[in-house]
Structure 1
Amino acid sequence: MKANQVSEHVWSLKIWMLIPVHVWVVADEDGVTLVDAGIQSMAKGILRFIEELQAGPLKRIVLTHGHSDHVGAVEQILKVNPVPVYAHQIEIPYMEGRLAYPRRKKAVSSIAEGITQPLHADESGNIQPIGGLTPFFTPGHSPGHVVYFHEKDQVMLAGDLFTSKNGNLKRPMSIFTADMDEAVRSSSIVQRLKPKRLEVCHGNPVFQPAEQIDSYIQNYVTTPSR
């Protein structure tokens, strides 16, 4: 597993599984937040990296969504560090196997019931900051997909809202995306927040991604993919 420092407070950990799979470690005043948990074989490497980083204990795991390549190491990590795990409340019944993900024939559990709790939201439904990160609801790839924005470092951890190639934003993988139209609409969060750097699970970083959003959306309108 390869570690790379993304910014002052953020590191990416990458493993190859035919395609790259990234998770992110965020160090802030109260300790460490793990964003996504990759595949099961990453568990030992994630725990070792956090220990060697010496930035404080693992305090929580936050998930962009519940697909198996984003939650695979959760249960192994919890055996060593029993910390809270958070996801959007809409996503939890899908990842626990109580509902079938859209375009899937049947419900399949990617994480045991009772492990994950909803991200905290105010009375208006706005998700509250957590561990130095602000979550934003970006459905489409999955019903409860979220991205996490580190405002201090101006880094967006975008999960599967996009893929990327050669520094360019690309659509999420269509075979695993519930609603591509919705996913493309959700991409407007990049224009709103204008991060300096955007990280995706499957691909390389994209710098100044807001400069690409208009053409990204327009390209989808002219060459839709279902």
Structure 2
Amino acid sequence: MDKEMNYGDDYKFIPATSIQSGVSIEVLPDLYVHTIQIANIVFYSCPGSDDFVLIDAGLPNSAEEIITVAEQRFEGKAKAIILTHGHFDHVGAVIELAKHWQVPVYAHALELPYLTGQKNYPKADASVDSGLVAKMSPIFPNESINLGEAIHELPSDGTVPFLEGFRWIHTPGHTPGHVSLYRESDGALIAGDAFVTVKQESLYKVFTQEKEISGPPKYFTTDWNAAFESVKKLAALTPSLALTGHGVPMSGEELNKNLKKLVDNFDQIALPNNKDFK
């Protein structure tokens, strides 16, 4: 399992946090969100057992906390780790967790180059916003990691291993292989960073976790046309609940009203000042 697994040379602890850090929320009986500093992970409870699946893997140096939360919540075993994408704040503990639990990791085919040591993400762009998180983003790790034999491509038929009833939806823009996970039976959406519910570029708003619909984090988003199409695709689902990579859960009328607002005003809300649609 651990053959050739390694992080990029720039992997390091990032000194950023929020008032939600360390807080867990049971949003549905089988969906449990936990915040690691400024990013969220999601635990899915497998039906008919006390086993679980982890969606996304926190920031660097968070493995011990994630394992502790899992042991407190579940008596069963981890079955897999699903990645919405491969940015450092979503894969920060993935190697330690894959080794500890001896589980496979799944991601979209277009994300695999960044998870097998073949290709680095572009460096963060500090010019996209005046917020302090955006200004500090050039120190964020962007080098690829190598998950070796642990990484697997998500099934091409749209199913998600071990996530009964969920399908993955390709939602590129923030990264080429970004996916969101959707369950039609109850409208539950795990959106990753396709959109978020906090203005991620602002240090004050990140710390206070002030609820606010926003597009994908600007400093790492590379294709704004694709990002807009992804938001429209998710809004069209009229989800009942959204769990995002950053910010607090949003549901019901509040969620769909804000998603419509984001679609209708994407250029004002999401688009960086120094960017434009092509």
TM-score range, shorter chain: 0.7 to 0.9
Pair 1:110 & 2:128 matched: no
Task: Describe the shift of the 1:78–1:212 C-alpha distance in structure 2 as closer, same or farther (beyond 3 A).
Answer: same
Pair 1:187 & 2:231 matched: yes
For 2:29 and 2:184, the matched residues in 1 are separated by 12
Tell me if structure 1 keeps the 8 A contact 2:193–2:244: yes
1:24-58: CA deviations, max 9, x gaps?
A: 00002252110000113221222222222235211
Q: 1:93 is aligned with what amino acid?
A: P
Select the structure with the greater relative contact order (CA < 8 A; seq sep ≥ 6): 2
Counterpart residue number, 1:120: 155
For 2:34 and 2:124, the matched residues in 1 are separated by 29
Counterpart residue number, 1:137: 170
Q: Which runs of structure 2 are paired with 1:10-21 in the superposition (5 Å)?
A: 10-16=31-37, 20-21=38-39
Task: Describe the shift of the 1:46–1:150 C-alpha distance in structure 2 as closer, same or farther (beyond 3 A).
Answer: farther
For 1:32 and 1:11, the matched residues in 2 are separated by 10
Q: Of Structure 1 and Structure 2, which has the larger fraction of its residues in strand?
A: 1
Q: Which runs of structure 2 are paired with 1:205-220 in the superposition (5 Å)?
A: 205-208=249-252, 209-220=255-266
For 2:152 and 2:86, the matched residues in 1 are separated by 12
Counterpart residue number, 1:45: 65
TM-score relative to the length of structure 1? 0.86
- Counterpart among 18, 25, 41 of residue 23 in structure 1: 41
- Counterpart among 197, 214, 222 of residue 164 in structure 1: 197
User: Which protein has the larger Cα radius of gyration, Structure 1 or Structure 2?
Assistant: 2
| Aligned-pair CA distance for 1:221 | 3.8
1:111-136: CA deviations, max 9, x gaps?
A: 333321100113xxxx2233223211
Task: Describe the shift of the 1:174–1:104 C-alpha distance in structure 2 as closer, same or farther (beyond 3 A).
Answer: closer
Q: 1:21 is aligned with what amino acid?
A: A
| Aligned-pair CA distance for 1:222 | 5.4
Task: Describe the shift of the 1:79–1:129 C-alpha distance in structure 2 as closer, same or farther (beyond 3 A).
Answer: closer
SS at match of 1:40: coil
Tell me if structure 2 keeps the 8 A contact 1:134–1:148: yes
| Aligned-pair CA distance for 1:201 | 1.4
RMSD: 2.3
Q: 1:51 is aligned with what amino acid?
A: E
For 1:222 and 1:11, the matched residues in 2 are separated by 32
TM-score relative to the length of structure 2? 0.71
Question: Which ranges of structure 2 fall in alignment gaps of 5 or more residues?
Answer: 1-21, 126-141, 199-209
| Aligned-pair CA distance for 1:102 | 5.0
Query: Any runs of at least 4 consecutive aligned residues in structure 1 with deviations exceeding 4 A, and if so which?
Result: 102-105
- Counterpart among 189, 214, 218 of residue 174 in structure 1: 218
Tell me if structure 2 keeps the 8 A contact 1:89–1:118: yes
